[in-house]
Amino acid sequence: MTTADNGNRSPKTGLFSPVSMSRVSQVIVDRVKLLIRDGELTPGDRLPSERDLCEQFGVSRVTIREALRVLEASGLVAVRVGARGGAFVTAPSTERLGEGLADLLSLSALTAANVTEARMVVETSALPLIIERATAEDIADLLRLTDEGQAALEAGTYDVGMSAAFHVRLAECAHNPALTMLIHSFHGPMLMSLREAKVSAPLMGRQGSDEHRELVLAIQSRDLATAEAIMKAHLQRTASRVDG
């Protein structure tokens, strides 16, 4: 759907009614979320103007603007200016949803061992889908990442962020948005666990990089048994280097 198409959508009316609670802006946010969930509002729909929203909800313009800011930060609404501007319902990206989960994970009392154990369950279980669905472009991207990792090792510039990036891209090869969102949410905790493992065994980067490449070659050959064996050994070694 183009921006022009969005601009031509008429505002939906009759969906809102006055509210009277202490945190009014959050009530409005929750009501808009409910309308999106129930399909009353869909991506591309334009919300009524600020003035109309004020009248329908029975609140001030400041309250409406606060609610729109929250919705925009959540990736549920895009606010555009100009003649065709306004607040439009959007579909939040996988990355944005993953960021929200990542914030929850980062603020919780997770240990590196917790994260690695979860990765063993999720990433190993994803391999059948990856083997089945990985495209030539996916394989090329993974090989490029392994080449970059090995070059960084030679130059002494390798960072665990490169390993995390490889695992995120690997999960994307399953072409399942829910799985991609889950692995994106693990990015921060994954870095935490990898850094702890590196402190425990700082010279293991070379072996890990080699395993990345072996894993890609197994996926390229559609060899599930080999891919699973490599992944299990790869993650088990990380698990053995972090505290329980």
CA within 13 Å, CB half, 168: 18
Residues 6+ apart with CB under 8 A from 44: 1, 5, 6, 9, 88, 89
The number of angstroms, rounded, from the C-alpha of 139 to the middle of its chain's C-alpha atoms is 21
**Distance of alpha carbon 237 from alpha carbon 38, whole angstroms:** 45
Tokens, residue 197: 């493992």
pTM listed for this prediction: 0.60
- Give the chain's end-to-end CA distance (angstroms, integer): 49
Tokens, residue 96: 């944005």
DSSP assignment, residue 41? S
**Residues in the chain where the model's pLDDT stays below 70:** 1-14, 17-22, 92-110, 191-193, 196-205, 242-244
The dihedrals phi and psi of 211, each to the nearest 5 degrees, come to -65, -35
**Distance of alpha carbon 127 from alpha carbon 134, whole angstroms:** 10
Residues 6+ apart with CB under 8 A from 154: none
**Distance of alpha carbon 243 from alpha carbon 221, whole angstroms:** 35
Q: Specify the amino acid at residue 236.
A: Q
Tokens, residue 219: 């996926």
The alpha helices in 11-60, defined as continuous H runs, are 24-37, 50-57
The pLDDT assigned to 105 comes to 54
- 112-133 and 187-200 helices, crossing angle to 10°: 120
